[in-house]
Structure 1
Amino acid sequence: MEIVRSLAPGIAQRPAVLTMGKFDGLHLGHRQLIGTAVRRARELGFVSAALTWDPHPNLVLRPDSPPQLLTSLEEKIDLIAALGPDLLIVAPFTEATKTTSAAAYMAQICAALPLRELWVGEDFAMGRGRSGDVPSLMTIGRDLGFAVGAVSKVMLGGEPVSSSRVRGLLAAGDVEGAAAMLGRPFGLRGTVVPGDQRGRLIGFPTANLQIRPEHVLPADGVYACRIALDGASLPAVTNVGVRPTFDGLRRTVEAHLLDWGGDLYGRALQVTFLHRLRGEQRFSGVDALVAQIRRDADAARELLGAV
C-alpha cells in the first residue's frame, strides 16, 4: 500500500475507486466500507484508494471537547493496510479544510486522482456545515465524473456498529463486547518508561506504558492480555488505573508479562485486551495485594491457555 500525505494533483494516474472517512477504530462498518472499495476496484481494474484525515477532524472542529481516539494514526494505517487498498491518502485537516465546501473538496480530490467511484457510509457527510451528504455527493459526482455508492450500516445486537458504541463498551470495561464490534480485540501501543518500581519490589515487575493522552483506555481494572514482542504473543496481566492501594493519582497502564523476564525499557509494545478479570480495588496492605495479583495471574493463565 502506498501512503501519501496530501491531495497534491496527480498522486494517481489510473482511474480510482475511493472511500473516505475518519475510520477511528477500524470497526466492522469501516472494514465493510473499505472492503467494498477494494473489491469494486479489482472488478473494474482500477486503483483502490482510502482517504482519512490527520488530525482527527473533531480535534479541529471541536477543540474544546477533543475526542478520545480508539486508534492512533499509526495503528489506523496498519489496520487499513491489512484490508488491501492500493493507496492511502492521509489528508491534513486544517482550519481551512473545515470551511471548504463539499464541492470544492471533491474537486481537489478529482485533481489528485481520476476518481470514477466514491463509496461512503449511508449517513456520511462532509464539507462546510456537513452539506456533502450522499444525495449532494451524487449531484457533485455528476458534475465531476464519478458515481457514488452508499454502504449500509453493519448491525450488531439490533443497533448499528459505531465508534461511539465501542467507546461506551470500553468505558464499561466490556473489552469482549468491543472486540465483537471491532472485528478484533481492542489494543494499545505504548513505549515502556520507568515507573516507581513497586511491582518489582513485590515480585511482580511491570512494564509501565506511556500512552498518548488522546487514546481511549478501557475502564479501570485488571485484564488478561497478550503482548506482541519480537514476533511472539506473550500472556500478560495488565492493570489500568490509579493504583489506589498506593494512593496513586494518575491513570497508568502497567503490564506484567507472565513467566517472562527481561529489560523492556524503551521498547514499543502492543497490548491486546482479551478479558476483564476485575475492577480496580484498594487493598488493606501489600500482602493482600500480592495475594490478589497471584489469583489474577492464575486466572489469566487459564483464560489465555498459558498454563
Structure 2
Amino acid sequence: MELIRGLHNLRDKHRVCVATIGNFDGVHRGHVKVLDQVKAKGLELGLPTVAIIFEPQPREFFAGAEAPPRLTRFDEKVRLLRDQGVDRVLCLPFNDRLRSMSAARFIDELLLEGLAVRHFVVGDDFRFGCDRKGDYAMLEQVGREKGFSVEHMETYLLDGERVSSTRVRLALQANDLDGAQRLLGWRYRICGRVMHGQKLGRTLGVPTANVRMHRFAAPLRGVYAVRVRIGDGSIHPGVANIGMRPTVHGTQPVLEAHLFDFTGDLYGQLLNVEFDAFIRDERKFDGLEQLKQQIQQDIDAARALLT
C-alpha cells in the first residue's frame, strides 16, 4: 500500500481510481463495509482504490483539546487501512487552506485534477467546502457532467444500531471492551514506541515500558490487564495504567505497561498494547508505599484475569 501525504505529492500514476473519504477513526466494521464497496468497484473497473483521510481530523482542528479522543493514532490507522487491502491512502493536511476551500474547488483540485476519480463512495450526509454547499447531490451533478459516478456508503448495523466511531468510543469509555471489540472487529489496542520516563516503576520494583503518546488522547483511562506484542512478535501478559499519574503529579497522559516475568530492553521498540480487561479507575494515593501496594494488587488481579 502507498501512503501519499498531501495533494502536492499526487503524480500522474495516481490518477484514475475508485475513492472514498472520511476520518476512518478506528477502521471499525462499518468502515470495513465501505472499503469492501470500494474494493468491489475497483475490481469491477480494474482500477486502484484510494482512501482519503485528514490529519488532524477536522474536529481536532476546530475543537483542539475539546475534541473527542481518538480511537487510533495516525500510524495505526494507516496500518489498519493497509490490512483492509486499500491500494493507496491519501492524507490531506487539514489546515486553513483546506478549511477555506469551496466545495467546487475541492471537487476540481482533489477529485478531478488530483485523482481523476471514476467512482466515489460517500455517505449521504457527507458535507464539504467552506460554504457547506458540497453534498451528495452536488457530487452526483458534477459527476454526470465530468464523467464519474457516486455511490452511497452502505450502513453497517449491529443490534439494530449503526456502527460508528462515536459508538465505539462510548463503549471504551464505559470500559465495555467486549462491546468495543464487536463494533471494531478487533481487540482494542494502542501502539507506540517505548520512551525513557522517570523510571519510577523500577524504583518500586515493577519496571514499566512507557509508551510514547505524543498528542494522542486515548478513550481509556485506568488500570487494565493487557497483552503486549513487542518488536520480535512475541506476546506477553501484563498490566497497564493509562492516565495522568496523579500520585506523582503527572501533567500529560502516559501509557505504562508492566510485562510479567519479562527481562530485556524495550527502549525504542514499537509495542502493541491490547486491552483485555478493566481492573480499576486511576486514583491518587497518599504516597509511594501505598501506590506500591496497590500495584501489586493490580498485578495479582491482572494475572488472574489473563489466566
Shorter-chain TM band: 0.7 to 0.9
Structure 1 stretch displaced more, 173-182 or 36-45: 173-182
Counterpart of 1:80? Answer: 81
Per-residue CA shift, 1:189-220, capped at 9, x if unaligned? Answer: 2332333333223332111222122332402x
**In the superposition, relative to structure 1, how do residues 184 and 168 fare at CA in structure 2: closer, same or farther (>3 Å)?**
same
The separation in 2 between residues aligned to 1:183 and 1:53, in whole angstroms, is 23
The separation in 1 between residues aligned to 2:149 and 2:183, in whole angstroms, is 29
1:131-170 matches, cutoff 5 A: 131-170=133-172
The residue type equivalent to 2:3 in the other structure is: I
Tell whether the 8 Å contact from 2:99 to 2:129 is kept in structure 1 after alignment. yes
The separation in 2 between residues aligned to 1:96 and 1:284, in whole angstroms, is 50
The separation in 2 between residues aligned to 1:99 and 1:138, in whole angstroms, is 22
Tell whether the 8 Å contact from 2:33 to 2:154 is kept in structure 1 after alignment. no
**How large is the RMSD of aligned CA atoms in angstroms?**
2.5
Q: Quote how far apart the aligned CAs of 1:86 are.
A: 1.6
For normalisation by structure 1, the TM-score amounts to 0.87
**In the superposition, relative to structure 1, how do residues 228 and 285 fare at CA in structure 2: closer, same or farther (>3 Å)?**
same
> Is 1:71 the equivalent of 2:72?
yes
Per-residue CA shift, 1:126-155, capped at 9, x if unaligned? Answer: 222433222222112112211111123222
Q: Which runs of 4+ in 1 moved over 4 A?
A: 281-292
Among candidates 190, 196, 200, match of residue 192 of structure 2: 190
> Is 1:60 the equivalent of 2:41?
no
Tell whether the 8 Å contact from 1:15 to 1:46 is kept in structure 2 after alignment. yes
Q: Quote how far apart the aligned CAs of 1:289 are.
A: 4.8
Percent identity over the alignment? 38
SS in 2 for 1:131: coil
The separation in 2 between residues aligned to 1:78 and 1:132, in whole angstroms, is 30
Counterpart of 2:2? Answer: 2
Tell whether the 8 Å contact from 1:167 to 1:216 is kept in structure 2 after alignment. no
> Is 1:35 the equivalent of 2:36?
yes
**In the superposition, relative to structure 1, how do residues 65 and 247 fare at CA in structure 2: closer, same or farther (>3 Å)?**
closer
Q: Quote how far apart the aligned CAs of 1:223 are.
A: 0.6
For normalisation by structure 2, the TM-score amounts to 0.87
Question: For structure 2, which runs of at least 5 residues remain unmatched after alignment?
Answer: none
Tell whether the 8 Å contact from 1:14 to 1:46 is kept in structure 2 after alignment. no
Tell whether the 8 Å contact from 1:225 to 1:235 is kept in structure 2 after alignment. yes
The residue type equivalent to 1:23 in the other structure is: F
**In the superposition, relative to structure 1, how do residues 11 and 2 fare at CA in structure 2: closer, same or farther (>3 Å)?**
farther
The separation in 2 between residues aligned to 1:281 and 1:90, in whole angstroms, is 38
Question: For structure 1, which runs of at least 5 residues remain unmatched after alignment?
Answer: none
Tell whether the 8 Å contact from 2:15 to 2:114 is kept in structure 1 after alignment. no
Among candidates 194, 205, 208, match of residue 206 of structure 1: 208
1:1-307 matches, cutoff 5 A: 1-8=1-8, 10-12=11-13, 15-63=16-64, 65-108=66-109, 109-219=111-221, 221-229=222-230, 230-244=232-246, 246-250=247-251, 251-282=253-284, 289-290=291-292, 292-305=294-307
The separation in 2 between residues aligned to 1:240 and 1:89, in whole angstroms, is 31
SS in 1 for 2:26: coil
The separation in 2 between residues aligned to 1:218 and 1:5, in whole angstroms, is 29
